Amino acid sequence: MKKAAISMIMALLLLSASSCSFSLNKYLDRPKETNLAYWITQTVTEDDFKDCTLMPGGFGMDVYLDGRYSGEIAEDNSVILPDVYVCYSASGYPDAVDHYCVTEIDITDPAINIYGLTMNSTTETVKKTMTSHGFRKLENGNYTKNNVVFSFSKSRIYIHAPSTNKLGVMY
């Protein structure tokens, strides 16, 4: 009887310990203070991007120019981005074999805001706002939370949620 009780306790401890290692949240809730069409780690389908322009040449991901912007078609059928744009990349997330999610957002439009911040926000305002939303500042000046990294500069805002490829999917 004692052996059974000890075995049961050990099994519960192992189960709880293993479930803790998988509890890391790799998704980021959409803030109210944004005017982006799609949000980082948002689950999407190709149909969601019907108003966007599919960019050629994505490697393991699809890249879309937000429908609010128009690029030019070059002779080789590539898309030449306008100076001001928002592009979304979508791929499997949190692993390459998982659901199709927005995994990158590249912003050069100063009218776009995230948590109320724009490319024109001061470094101090970015720091105050991002840390108030639970982000940690990295040594390189970027901010991270739930596997998502935000980079702010005077020329762009770049958001990235790195995906793993545990099964070694070949593209």
What's the chain's length in residues? 171
Q: What is the pLDDT of residue 9?
A: 43
Q: What is the pLDDT of residue 58?
A: 73
- Sign of the dihedral defined by the CA atoms of residues 88, 94, 97, 99, in that order: negative
pTM: 0.83
Closest CA to 36 of 161, 163, 162, 159: 159
CA 35 from centre of chain: 16
Is the pLDDT confidence value at 86 over 80? yes
